């Protein structure tokens, strides 16, 4: 029977995901194991693994020294994975535990340690904003990654998962891989711009809460199941099998998306007792323009679905 090994120290969530997805035997191994017959041994970063077996690693930071960068946790790690010999590296975002904040608390800012941390903190103080230089964000309203270069994706993903908006520098690939400017956080290109963005955001409580919500929603999209799937798919070639639709299914889907409106693009306007109407040039079918409200409702229902019952 096929089997895979999992190195000791792999996160529990990834162990569970691999065990549930793999159609074979899964067992934990150590570097001292001399067993053979593994399809591969999965590991994270630089965890020790047995020798003489295929290795697939999930790499989460640029400082990893191992050569097997099979799956990486962010896009900016892809070039390094290619440089180290992985022909088809896959990106699977790093999952972090989502913790719901109860409130925004006081208007404080955590400035994560970095090259520009002191300058950013000084600028915030000049604007009357309480700030603290720290290695990890705690209870705060806003977190700023002060590094203009690679700083590690863990630093901002953990606070974002707790609905704490993050501000980063556009030159930092670790920040730009996670933060989408104006959507789930903010990006600036200089110390002055970072300070200005932070000050304006702290004054706008609704926007602060919105960015926090979107930040948490972004992190919720990542899961250990996605990481496990990427590890199991390593080395695939060609295209995945896609759903093939017959003519009837295609027509039904097109009609459901209101594609039937194209039938009337060459129609004629008619005057009748019901008001203006459209008639097809090639047939006798016609539709009263009074029905447009019904069509609008159908379109909206098709786009957004039924109302939330919660």
The answer to whether 49 and 67 are in contact (CB under 8 A) is no
pLDDT for the residue numbered 114:
84
Residue 255 is predicted with a pLDDT of 56
DSSP state of 75: G
Q: Where do runs of H (alpha helix) occur along 84-153?
A: 117-126
What pLDDT does residue 77 have?
Answer: 92
Nearest residue to 23 via CA among 40, 8, 6, 1: 1
- pLDDT reported for residue 6: 92
∠ CA 65-70-72, rounded to 5°:
75
Q: What is the pLDDT of residue 150?
A: 74
Angle ∠(9,12,15) on CA atoms, nearest 5 = 90
Per-residue pLDDT of the chain (310 residues; tens, 9 = 90+): 578 999 999 999 999 999 998 888 888 888 776 666 788 999 999 999 888 888 999 999 988 999 899 999 999 999 999 999 988 889 999 998 876 654 455 678 888 888 888 999 999 998 888 888 777 776 788 999 988 887 678 888 888 988 899 999 999 998 999 999 988 899 999 999 999 999 999 988 889 888 988 888 888 888 999 999 999 986 554 444 444 455 565 555 555 554 555 555 555 555 554 444 555 555 555 555 455 556 655 665 565 555 444 3
Q: Which one, of 241, 227, 221, lies nearest residue 21 by Cα?
A: 227
Tokens of 285: 């079918």
Q: What pLDDT, on the 0 to 100 scale, is given for residue 108?
A: 83
Q: Which of 132, 10, 30 is nearest to 71 (CA)?
A: 10
């Amino acid at each position: 029977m096929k089997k895979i090994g999992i190195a000791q120290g792999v996160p529990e969530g990834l162990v569970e995901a691999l065990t549930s997805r793999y159609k074979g035997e899964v067992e934990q191994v150590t570097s001292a194991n001399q067993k053979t017959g593994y399809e591969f041994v999965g590991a994270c970063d630089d965890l020790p693994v047995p020798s003489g077996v295929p290795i697939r690693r999930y790499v989460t930071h640029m400082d990893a020294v191992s050569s097997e960068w099979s799956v990486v946790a962010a896009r900016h790690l892809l070039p390094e994975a290619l440089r180290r010999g992985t022909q088809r590296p896959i990106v699977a975002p790093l999952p972090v535990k989502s913790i719901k904040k109860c409130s925004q608390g006081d208007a404080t800012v955590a400035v994560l340690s970095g090259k520009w941390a002191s300058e950013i903190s000084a600028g915030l103080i000049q604007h009357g904003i309480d700030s603290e230089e720290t290695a990890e964000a705690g209870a705060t309203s806003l977190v700023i990654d002060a590094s203009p270069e690679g700083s590690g994706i863990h630093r901002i993903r953990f606070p974002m998962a707790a609905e704490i908006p993050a501000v980063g520098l556009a030159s930092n690939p670790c920040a730009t891989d996670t933060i989408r400017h104006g959507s789930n956080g903010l990006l600036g290109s200089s110390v002055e711009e970072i300070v200005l963005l932070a000050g304006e955001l702290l004054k706008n409580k609704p926007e602060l809460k919105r960015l926090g919500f979107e930040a948490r929603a972004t992190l919720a999209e990542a899961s250990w199941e996605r990481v496990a799937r990427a590890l199991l798919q390593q080395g695939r070639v060609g295209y995945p099998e896609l759903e093939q639709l017959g003519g009837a299914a295609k027509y039904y889907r097109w009609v459901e998306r209101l594609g039937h409106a194209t039938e009337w693009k060459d129609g004629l306007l008619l005057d009748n007792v019901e008001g203006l109407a459209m008639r097809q040039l090639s047939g006798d079918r016609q539709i009263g323009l009074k029905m447009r409200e019904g069509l609008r409702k159908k379109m909206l229902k098709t786009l957004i679905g039924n109302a939330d019952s919660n």
